[in-house]
Amino acid sequence: MSHHTPLTPEHLGRTIEDYFAERQAELLPSGEQTRDGRRFSWCGDVLEFLTEGLAERLAASGITFSKSFPGPFRLMDEEQMANGNHVRRFWTMALDHGCPIARLCTYFFHRHDQVQLPQPPQIVAYLPDHPETEAAE
């Protein structure tokens, strides 16, 4: 992350999605294992793989999270779509050298009947004072 670019919620969200894309490139087309042979047994393993190392990379720039990224697991926050896909929202606060800079919502798209993710996780970054109201609905 360049210090010349203003650190806005939107920039941070794009940075995280770019990291996801880097990690996604390490998956085989089946989405069930990595190019180096690491195999996944369920969709949560894939999410863990995509997020692995993100906190360390951002910490080098002074960015930390109030909760482990992408945020606490909330089963009550899972929605089932008509096509069989499910989406969960994970919330966490991003801090820049300890000061809140963005409330992040990670949308995790998955299916319970397959390991491969139907689409990569998406990040929506809000101003720090944005409530987590969507998670409670």
If you write DSSP's letter for every residue of 86-132 in order, what string do you get?
EEEEEEEEEEETTEEEEEEEEEEEE-TT-SS-SS--EEEEE-TT---
Neighbours of 137 (CB within 10 A): 9
Q: What is the pLDDT of residues 116-125, one digit of tens each?
A: 999 999 999 9
Quick one: pLDDT band at residue 59, thresholds 50, 70, 90? very high
Which of 1, 7, 9, 20 lies closest to 107 in space, CA to CA? Answer: 20
81 assigned to some structural domain: yes
Q: What is the pLDDT of residues 60-106, one digit of tens each?
A: 999 999 988 998 776 667 888 888 899 999 999 999 999 999 999 99
pLDDT at 135 over 50: no
Q: CA–CA separation, 41 vs 67, rounded Å?
A: 25
16 assigned to some structural domain: yes
Number of structural domains in the chain? 1
| Bridge partners, residue 94, by sequence | 65, 102
2 assigned to some structural domain: no
21 assigned to some structural domain: yes
* Residue 56, domain extent: 9-128
104 assigned to some structural domain: yes
Q: Is 32 helix (H, G, I), strand (E, B) or coil?
A: coil
Q: Which pLDDT belongs to residue 136?
A: 39
Q: Is 34 helix (H, G, I), strand (E, B) or coil?
A: strand
* pTM for this entry: 0.85
97 assigned to some structural domain: yes
52 assigned to some structural domain: yes
4 assigned to some structural domain: no
Provide the percentage of residues in the chain whose pLDDT is more than 90: 75
